[in-house]
Structure 1
């Protein structure tokens, strides 16, 4: 009889989904709709043809689809890492109420989202210097400060994970950012490397760092969720 009652409750739950889910869907659609309307208004005010916002950049520029391949793959990997972190944080918070892992994954998801937006829209390379007049040094200083605060806030959670992979990712990304300065500071390197080789070194290290970042958060999120599921199964 208890099993029959539980099955009946489960069927009722499936037939009557949680109203909060419907509210979340409605709010999400509202946010997306408002964002699209805002972009359309901005485009009209700037006399910007809408196809320039809606069409694919490869079609607009009439360039092969493999242009900027590694850059685009890097953005996709950052997007995947951010989505994995945010989804895992939501699962852990909803089912297991663990503040430590939830806050770490949530913060990591937003940090990764910021990296993705910066890389996709070339904020520190083009937008901030040209539109805001900010120097490259001041932009890097702000980014480094935010990242140091993130590390300090998440230090305990990071040390409980496969942190070697985490610091490998940071190492690759950090060296990639400093490649220009390193080459300029070592004249024999600037004479030894061609421009194409410098780009290969800088962008290659950046891509390796992004891949390591993605793998780290896949491993961390999977380990965290799996441990909670196993614990719940043992307790149940």
Structure 2
């Protein structure tokens, strides 16, 4: 009995320290990027670490909708991450949540670091239209592959999300002159993010009640 308890404690401690190390290694990556940029390119470290508005001396409300969008992207990704790790969920649902976590995280990083607006077109020579085409293709594959889960879930939220995203992309690709165009484009995008997050929250709760 005593030996069993000792062995159990030992295994738990191994798992605990393994998790501590894994979390540390994950957290140290962005810090290493800051250090690399500072010492190799002489970039002011504050440009990496401080808030953008603080650096630019801009009012707090600059980028408000974009920042809120990033928060809700992160909420959606967090919900999907939890869903992919709930032991009681069946494997199909867990796989769905895993891919949804990766997709939501990609969209989050796209928004935060301007992937399709700066990094891809400026540094990699990939136009926004091509990137949007990749997004559309990925979304179609995602919908076809997981259509049964989507249909059986709170699909109205998902359909509203796709609709609003589609309208935002359409306005971005097809130029037209109208007062407040940016409000319409980014407003549609924000609504898409909200319904995207709401869909995964509702689906997660439904699956949790079933378990």
CA distance in 1, matches of 2:99, 2:188: 24
- The answer to whether residue 23 in structure 2 is matched with residue 28 in structure 1 is yes
1:203 counterpart residue number: 186
- The answer to whether residue 149 in structure 2 is matched with residue 142 in structure 1 is no
1:158 counterpart residue number: 150
CA contact (8 A) 2:121 2:127 kept: yes
CA distance in 1, matches of 2:37, 2:53: 23
- When the two structures are superposed, what TM-score results if normalisation uses the length of structure 1? 0.80
- When the two structures are superposed, what TM-score results if normalisation uses the length of structure 2? 0.89
2:43 counterpart residue number: 48
**Where does structure 2 lack aligned partners over 5 or more consecutive residues?**
1-7
**Where does structure 1 lack aligned partners over 5 or more consecutive residues?**
1-12, 185-189, 229-236
- The answer to whether residue 83 in structure 2 is matched with residue 88 in structure 1 is yes
- Pair 1:41–1:140, CA change in 2 (3 A): same
Q: Pick the aligned partner of 1:74 from 53, 60, 69.
A: 69
Q: For this pair of structures, how many residues does the alignment match?
A: 207
2:3 counterpart residue number: none
Matches within 5 A, 1:77-116: 77-91=72-86, 95-96=87-88, 98-116=90-108
CA distance in 1, matches of 2:30, 2:63: 27
How far off its partner does 1:36 sit?
Answer: 1.8
CA distance in 1, matches of 2:16, 2:149: 30
- Can you list the C-alpha shifts for 1:199-220, whole angstroms capped at 9, x where unaligned? 1111111111111111111111
- The answer to whether residue 60 in structure 2 is matched with residue 65 in structure 1 is yes
- Pair 1:163–1:97, CA change in 2 (3 A): closer
Q: Pick the aligned partner of 2:206 from 223, 227, 232.
A: 223
- Say which SS state the counterpart of residue 129 (structure 2) adopts: helix
CA contact (8 A) 2:89 2:207 kept: no
How far off its partner does 1:177 sit?
Answer: 0.7
CA contact (8 A) 2:116 2:127 kept: no
CA distance in 2, matches of 1:41, 1:78: 28
Q: Radius of gyration: which is bigger?
A: 1
How far off its partner does 1:97 sit?
Answer: 5.7
